[in-house]
Amino acid sequence: MKVSIQTIAELAGVSTATVSRVFHGDSYVKEETRRLIERIAEENGYKPRGYNKRQTARSDDMLIGVAVADITNPFFTTIIRHIIDFFEQHDIECIMCDLNENPNREIRYLSMLKQKNISGIIISPTSESAEYNAAFLKELYASGLPIILLDRDIKGIGLNGVFQNNQDGAYVAVDTLIREGHQKIAFIAGPLTSKPGLDRMMGYMDALKTHRIEVNHEYVLYGDFRQESGYRLTKQLLSDHPEVTAILPSNNMMACGALKAIYEKGLRIPEDISFISYGKPEFSPDMNNAGISYLKEPMEQMAEESAQMMLELLNRGKKTRQQSPKRVSFDTIPMLKGSEKRGR
Protein backbone atom coordinates (compact mmCIF):
# COMPACT_ATOMS: atom_id res chain seq x y z
CA MET A 1 0.00 0.00 0.00
CA LYS A 2 1.32 3.41 -0.95
CA VAL A 3 1.55 5.63 2.09
CA SER A 4 0.55 9.27 1.62
CA ILE A 5 -0.12 12.32 3.77
CA GLN A 6 -3.77 11.27 3.76
CA THR A 7 -2.77 7.86 5.18
CA ILE A 8 -0.72 9.45 7.96
CA ALA A 9 -3.57 11.85 8.77
CA GLU A 10 -6.11 9.03 9.05
CA LEU A 11 -3.83 6.94 11.27
CA ALA A 12 -3.08 9.92 13.52
CA GLY A 13 -6.68 11.10 13.62
CA VAL A 14 -5.81 14.59 12.42
CA SER A 15 -6.35 16.62 9.27
CA THR A 16 -4.03 16.46 6.28
CA ALA A 17 -3.34 20.15 6.88
CA THR A 18 -1.92 19.33 10.32
CA VAL A 19 0.32 16.63 8.86
CA SER A 20 1.48 19.05 6.20
CA ARG A 21 2.30 21.70 8.82
CA VAL A 22 4.46 19.21 10.72
CA PHE A 23 6.43 18.29 7.61
CA HIS A 24 6.86 21.95 6.73
CA GLY A 25 8.28 22.74 10.15
CA ASP A 26 5.35 24.76 11.51
CA SER A 27 6.03 25.49 15.19
CA TYR A 28 2.35 25.99 16.03
CA VAL A 29 1.51 22.27 16.06
CA LYS A 30 1.25 20.83 19.57
CA GLU A 31 4.35 18.84 20.50
CA GLU A 32 2.27 15.77 21.39
CA THR A 33 0.64 15.83 17.94
CA ARG A 34 3.97 16.40 16.21
CA ARG A 35 5.53 13.38 17.93
CA LEU A 36 2.54 11.19 17.05
CA ILE A 37 2.70 12.14 13.37
CA GLU A 38 6.46 11.64 13.20
CA ARG A 39 6.18 8.22 14.86
CA ILE A 40 3.40 7.05 12.53
CA ALA A 41 5.32 8.29 9.49
CA GLU A 42 8.46 6.46 10.62
CA GLU A 43 6.58 3.23 11.37
CA ASN A 44 5.04 3.29 7.90
CA GLY A 45 8.21 4.21 6.09
CA TYR A 46 6.92 7.57 4.97
CA LYS A 47 9.70 10.09 4.36
CA PRO A 48 8.60 13.44 2.90
CA ARG A 49 11.12 14.94 0.53
CA GLY A 50 13.43 17.40 2.25
CA TYR A 51 12.08 16.74 5.74
CA ASN A 52 14.29 16.08 8.72
CA LYS A 53 13.07 15.98 12.27
CA ARG A 54 13.89 19.49 13.26
CA GLN A 55 15.08 20.59 16.62
CA THR A 56 12.20 22.67 17.91
CA ALA A 57 12.26 24.94 20.92
CA ARG A 58 11.47 22.07 23.30
CA SER A 59 14.42 21.24 25.50
CA ASP A 60 15.00 20.06 29.03
CA ASP A 61 17.00 23.20 29.77
CA MET A 62 14.66 25.63 28.00
CA LEU A 63 13.25 28.17 30.46
CA ILE A 64 10.85 31.05 29.80
CA GLY A 65 10.45 33.92 32.23
CA VAL A 66 6.88 35.18 32.61
CA ALA A 67 6.74 38.44 34.56
CA VAL A 68 3.37 40.05 35.29
CA ALA A 69 2.52 43.33 36.99
CA ASP A 70 0.24 41.86 39.67
CA ILE A 71 -0.21 38.11 40.11
CA THR A 72 -3.17 38.63 42.47
CA ASN A 73 -5.18 40.15 39.62
CA PRO A 74 -7.42 37.47 38.03
CA PHE A 75 -6.60 38.97 34.62
CA PHE A 76 -2.94 38.02 34.99
CA THR A 77 -3.69 34.78 36.85
CA THR A 78 -5.77 33.55 33.91
CA ILE A 79 -3.12 34.57 31.38
CA ILE A 80 -0.35 32.82 33.34
CA ARG A 81 -2.36 29.60 33.56
CA HIS A 82 -2.89 29.51 29.80
CA ILE A 83 0.75 30.34 29.05
CA ILE A 84 1.99 27.55 31.34
CA ASP A 85 -0.44 25.07 29.78
CA PHE A 86 0.81 26.01 26.30
CA PHE A 87 4.49 25.59 27.11
CA GLU A 88 3.92 22.33 29.00
CA GLN A 89 2.67 20.85 25.71
CA HIS A 90 6.07 21.72 24.24
CA ASP A 91 8.16 20.48 27.19
CA ILE A 92 9.24 24.01 28.07
CA GLU A 93 9.46 25.18 31.68
CA CYS A 94 8.35 28.59 32.93
CA ILE A 95 9.48 30.70 35.85
CA MET A 96 6.90 33.13 37.25
CA CYS A 97 7.73 36.62 38.52
CA ASP A 98 5.25 38.86 40.36
CA LEU A 99 6.36 42.46 39.80
CA ASN A 100 3.77 43.76 42.27
CA GLU A 101 3.35 46.98 40.26
CA ASN A 102 6.84 47.95 41.45
CA PRO A 103 9.47 49.15 38.92
CA ASN A 104 12.30 48.45 41.40
CA ARG A 105 11.20 44.86 41.84
CA GLU A 106 10.86 44.61 38.07
CA ILE A 107 14.50 45.48 37.44
CA ARG A 108 15.62 43.01 40.14
CA TYR A 109 13.67 40.20 38.50
CA LEU A 110 14.96 41.09 35.05
CA SER A 111 18.53 40.96 36.39
CA MET A 112 17.81 37.60 38.01
CA LEU A 113 16.37 36.19 34.78
CA LYS A 114 19.44 37.36 32.87
CA GLN A 115 21.71 35.56 35.35
CA LYS A 116 19.71 32.38 34.90
CA ASN A 117 20.42 32.45 31.14
CA ILE A 118 16.72 32.56 30.43
CA SER A 119 15.61 31.49 26.94
CA GLY A 120 13.00 34.23 26.54
CA ILE A 121 10.87 36.68 28.52
CA ILE A 122 7.16 37.47 28.36
CA ILE A 123 6.59 40.58 30.46
CA SER A 124 3.82 42.92 31.47
CA PRO A 125 5.85 45.98 32.50
CA THR A 126 4.96 47.98 35.60
CA SER A 127 5.44 51.33 33.88
CA GLU A 128 5.57 52.73 30.38
CA SER A 129 8.08 55.41 31.36
CA ALA A 130 10.61 53.70 33.68
CA GLU A 131 13.62 54.62 31.55
CA TYR A 132 16.19 52.38 33.24
CA ASN A 133 13.94 49.33 32.98
CA ALA A 134 13.20 50.08 29.34
CA ALA A 135 16.90 50.44 28.57
CA PHE A 136 17.63 47.13 30.28
CA LEU A 137 14.94 45.34 28.26
CA LYS A 138 16.30 46.93 25.10
CA GLU A 139 19.79 45.68 25.96
CA LEU A 140 18.49 42.14 26.51
CA TYR A 141 16.62 42.26 23.22
CA ALA A 142 19.69 43.54 21.36
CA SER A 143 21.64 40.54 22.68
CA GLY A 144 19.23 38.26 20.81
CA LEU A 145 16.99 37.31 23.74
CA PRO A 146 13.34 36.94 22.63
CA ILE A 147 11.16 39.42 24.53
CA ILE A 148 7.41 39.87 24.24
CA LEU A 149 5.48 42.67 25.89
CA LEU A 150 2.15 41.51 27.29
CA ASP A 151 -0.82 43.88 27.73
CA ARG A 152 1.41 46.87 28.56
CA ASP A 153 3.61 48.66 26.08
CA ILE A 154 6.83 50.62 26.58
CA LYS A 155 7.25 53.76 24.52
CA GLY A 156 10.33 54.17 22.39
CA ILE A 157 11.18 50.46 22.10
CA GLY A 158 10.15 48.38 19.12
CA LEU A 159 9.54 45.05 20.84
CA ASN A 160 7.16 42.25 19.95
CA GLY A 161 3.92 42.59 21.83
CA VAL A 162 0.41 41.31 22.48
CA PHE A 163 -2.13 43.84 23.68
CA GLN A 164 -5.81 44.65 23.96
CA ASN A 165 -7.46 47.69 22.40
CA ASN A 166 -7.77 49.62 25.64
CA GLN A 167 -8.78 52.94 24.17
CA ASP A 168 -11.53 51.42 22.05
CA GLY A 169 -12.81 49.38 24.98
CA ALA A 170 -13.14 52.36 27.31
CA TYR A 171 -14.76 54.35 24.50
CA VAL A 172 -17.40 51.66 24.00
CA ALA A 173 -18.17 51.54 27.74
CA VAL A 174 -18.65 55.31 28.04
CA ASP A 175 -20.56 55.48 24.76
CA THR A 176 -22.91 52.80 26.11
CA LEU A 177 -23.54 54.79 29.29
CA ILE A 178 -24.18 58.00 27.35
CA ARG A 179 -26.67 56.25 25.08
CA GLU A 180 -28.48 55.12 28.23
CA GLY A 181 -28.93 58.80 29.13
CA HIS A 182 -25.94 59.40 31.40
CA GLN A 183 -23.87 62.58 31.22
CA LYS A 184 -22.34 62.76 34.71
CA ILE A 185 -20.03 59.79 34.32
CA ALA A 186 -17.14 59.29 36.72
CA PHE A 187 -13.93 57.52 35.76
CA ILE A 188 -11.72 55.75 38.31
CA ALA A 189 -8.48 55.91 36.33
CA GLY A 190 -5.44 53.69 36.52
CA PRO A 191 -1.89 55.05 36.63
CA LEU A 192 -1.15 57.10 33.54
CA THR A 193 2.43 55.81 33.63
CA SER A 194 1.03 52.53 32.28
CA LYS A 195 -0.09 52.33 28.65
CA PRO A 196 -3.45 50.68 29.48
CA GLY A 197 -4.15 53.35 32.11
CA LEU A 198 -3.41 56.14 29.65
CA ASP A 199 -5.29 54.55 26.75
CA ARG A 200 -8.41 53.90 28.82
CA MET A 201 -8.37 57.51 29.97
CA MET A 202 -8.15 58.59 26.33
CA GLY A 203 -11.12 56.36 25.46
CA TYR A 204 -13.17 57.96 28.24
CA MET A 205 -12.29 61.46 27.05
CA ASP A 206 -12.91 60.62 23.38
CA ALA A 207 -16.41 59.29 24.05
CA LEU A 208 -17.40 62.41 25.99
CA LYS A 209 -15.97 64.58 23.22
CA THR A 210 -17.86 62.64 20.53
CA HIS A 211 -21.13 63.33 22.36
CA ARG A 212 -20.14 66.94 23.08
CA ILE A 213 -20.12 66.45 26.82
CA GLU A 214 -17.61 68.63 28.64
CA VAL A 215 -15.11 66.72 30.75
CA ASN A 216 -15.55 67.45 34.45
CA HIS A 217 -12.10 66.74 35.86
CA GLU A 218 -13.56 66.39 39.35
CA TYR A 219 -15.24 63.22 38.07
CA VAL A 220 -11.85 61.70 37.21
CA LEU A 221 -9.94 60.17 40.11
CA TYR A 222 -6.54 58.51 39.77
CA GLY A 223 -5.80 55.12 41.31
CA ASP A 224 -3.16 52.44 40.96
CA PHE A 225 -5.10 49.44 39.56
CA ARG A 226 -5.45 48.06 43.11
CA GLN A 227 -8.70 47.22 44.89
CA GLU A 228 -8.00 49.51 47.83
CA SER A 229 -7.62 52.57 45.60
CA GLY A 230 -10.90 51.76 43.84
CA TYR A 231 -12.63 51.59 47.21
CA ARG A 232 -11.06 54.77 48.60
CA LEU A 233 -11.61 56.86 45.48
CA THR A 234 -15.21 55.75 44.95
CA LYS A 235 -15.99 56.48 48.59
CA GLN A 236 -14.55 59.96 48.10
CA LEU A 237 -16.44 60.43 44.83
CA LEU A 238 -19.81 59.45 46.30
CA SER A 239 -19.28 61.85 49.19
CA ASP A 240 -18.10 64.80 47.10
CA HIS A 241 -20.27 64.32 44.01
CA PRO A 242 -23.58 62.59 44.78
CA GLU A 243 -24.89 63.92 41.45
CA VAL A 244 -22.79 61.39 39.51
CA THR A 245 -25.10 58.84 37.84
CA ALA A 246 -22.57 56.30 36.49
CA ILE A 247 -19.09 55.01 37.30
CA LEU A 248 -16.48 53.32 35.09
CA PRO A 249 -13.45 51.89 36.95
CA SER A 250 -10.37 51.41 34.77
CA ASN A 251 -9.75 47.77 35.72
CA ASN A 252 -11.35 44.79 37.43
CA MET A 253 -9.54 45.18 40.76
CA MET A 254 -10.51 48.82 41.22
CA ALA A 255 -14.05 47.83 40.21
CA CYS A 256 -14.18 45.42 43.17
CA GLY A 257 -13.22 48.24 45.52
CA ALA A 258 -15.69 50.60 43.85
CA LEU A 259 -18.55 48.13 44.28
CA LYS A 260 -17.69 47.71 47.95
CA ALA A 261 -17.91 51.49 48.44
CA ILE A 262 -21.21 51.65 46.57
CA TYR A 263 -22.79 48.87 48.63
CA GLU A 264 -21.51 50.35 51.89
CA LYS A 265 -23.19 53.62 50.94
CA GLY A 266 -26.46 51.72 50.64
CA LEU A 267 -26.81 52.45 46.94
CA ARG A 268 -28.47 50.07 44.52
CA ILE A 269 -27.24 49.26 41.01
CA PRO A 270 -28.68 50.46 38.65
CA GLU A 271 -31.60 52.06 40.55
CA ASP A 272 -29.38 54.59 42.36
CA ILE A 273 -26.20 54.53 40.31
CA SER A 274 -25.10 52.78 37.12
CA PHE A 275 -21.88 50.88 36.65
CA ILE A 276 -19.64 49.30 34.01
CA SER A 277 -16.31 47.70 34.84
CA TYR A 278 -13.30 47.46 32.54
CA GLY A 279 -12.74 43.74 33.12
CA LYS A 280 -14.87 41.36 35.15
CA PRO A 281 -14.80 42.23 38.88
CA GLU A 282 -14.26 38.70 40.18
CA PHE A 283 -13.96 39.53 43.87
CA SER A 284 -16.71 42.06 44.37
CA PRO A 285 -19.04 41.88 47.42
CA ASP A 286 -21.73 40.63 45.02
CA MET A 287 -19.75 37.47 44.38
CA ASN A 288 -21.71 36.17 41.40
CA ASN A 289 -21.79 39.61 39.74
CA ALA A 290 -24.94 38.54 37.93
CA GLY A 291 -26.07 42.08 37.24
CA ILE A 292 -22.74 43.86 36.76
CA SER A 293 -21.90 44.93 33.22
CA TYR A 294 -18.26 44.72 32.19
CA LEU A 295 -15.86 44.63 29.28
CA LYS A 296 -14.68 41.06 28.76
CA GLU A 297 -10.92 41.12 28.27
CA PRO A 298 -9.34 38.75 25.71
CA MET A 299 -7.16 36.93 28.23
CA GLU A 300 -7.11 33.50 26.59
CA GLN A 301 -6.36 34.92 23.14
CA MET A 302 -3.60 37.13 24.50
CA ALA A 303 -2.00 34.23 26.39
CA GLU A 304 -2.06 31.90 23.41
CA GLU A 305 -0.80 34.54 21.00
CA SER A 306 2.10 35.56 23.24
CA ALA A 307 3.12 31.93 23.85
CA GLN A 308 2.94 31.06 20.16
CA MET A 309 4.89 34.19 19.30
CA MET A 310 7.60 33.20 21.79
CA LEU A 311 7.80 29.68 20.38
CA GLU A 312 8.19 31.10 16.90
CA LEU A 313 11.03 33.36 18.05
CA LEU A 314 12.77 30.49 19.84
CA ASN A 315 12.66 28.40 16.69
CA ARG A 316 14.42 31.13 14.72
CA GLY A 317 18.12 31.74 14.83
CA LYS A 318 19.40 34.77 16.69
CA LYS A 319 20.09 36.55 13.43
CA THR A 320 16.46 36.37 12.33
CA ARG A 321 14.99 37.46 15.68
CA GLN A 322 15.78 41.11 15.01
CA GLN A 323 13.22 41.35 12.21
CA SER A 324 10.40 43.91 12.35
CA PRO A 325 8.52 43.32 15.61
CA LYS A 326 5.18 41.58 15.50
CA ARG A 327 2.47 43.42 17.43
CA VAL A 328 -1.03 42.03 17.86
CA SER A 329 -4.08 43.60 19.54
CA PHE A 330 -7.41 42.08 20.53
CA ASP A 331 -10.76 43.75 21.18
CA THR A 332 -12.74 43.62 24.41
CA ILE A 333 -16.35 42.41 24.33
CA PRO A 334 -19.10 44.35 26.16
CA MET A 335 -21.02 42.06 28.52
CA LEU A 336 -24.08 44.13 29.36
CA LYS A 337 -26.02 42.76 32.34
CA GLY A 338 -28.24 45.73 33.12
CA SER A 339 -26.08 47.74 35.51
CA GLU A 340 -25.46 50.32 32.77
CA LYS A 341 -29.16 51.27 32.68
CA ARG A 342 -30.28 54.72 33.76
CA GLY A 343 -31.97 54.39 37.12
CA ARG A 344 -32.37 58.04 38.07
Given pLDDT bands bounded at 50, 70 and 90, which one contains residue 55? very low
- Over range 79-94, report the average pLDDT: 90
- Mean pLDDT, all residues of the chain: 88
| Per-residue confidence band for 133, with pLDDT thresholds at 50, 70 and 90 | confident
Q: Which fold has domain 63-164+299-333?
A: Rossmann fold (3.40.50)
pLDDT of residue 187 exceeding 50:
yes
Banded model confidence at residue 130, pLDDT cuts 50, 70, 90:
low
Top-confidence residue, 16 or 186? 186
Determine the pLDDT at residue 129: 59
- pLDDT range class, residue 58, cuts 50, 70, 90: very low
More confident residue, 138 or 171: 171
Considering the chain, what percentage of its residues have pLDDT values greater than 90? Answer: 60
Which of 47-56, 135-144, 264-273, 311-320 is predicted with the least confidence, judged by mean pLDDT? 47-56
Task: Assign 76 a pLDDT band (cuts: 50, 70, 90).
Answer: very high
Q: Where are the domains of the chain?
A: 5-43, 63-164+299-333, 166-296
More confident residue, 277 or 115: 277
Q: Looking at residue 50, what is its pLDDT?
A: 54
Residue 256: how many CA atoms within 13 Å on its side-chain side? 18
Inform me whether the pLDDT recorded for 285 exceeds 70. no
CATH number of 166-296: 3.40.50.2300
Q: What is the DSSP string of 67-97?
A: EES-TTSHHHHHHHHHHHHHHHTTT-EEEEE
Share of the chain above pLDDT 70, in %: 88
Mean pLDDT score, 283-309: 84
**63-164+299-333 and 166-296 agree in CATH topology:** yes
The distance from CA 193 to its chain's CA centroid, rounded to whole angstroms, is 17
d(CA 19, CA 17) in angstroms, rounded, equals 5
- Top-confidence residue, 100 or 16: 100
d(CA 137, CA 126) in angstroms, rounded, equals 13
Q: What is the mean pLDDT of residues 64-77?
A: 93
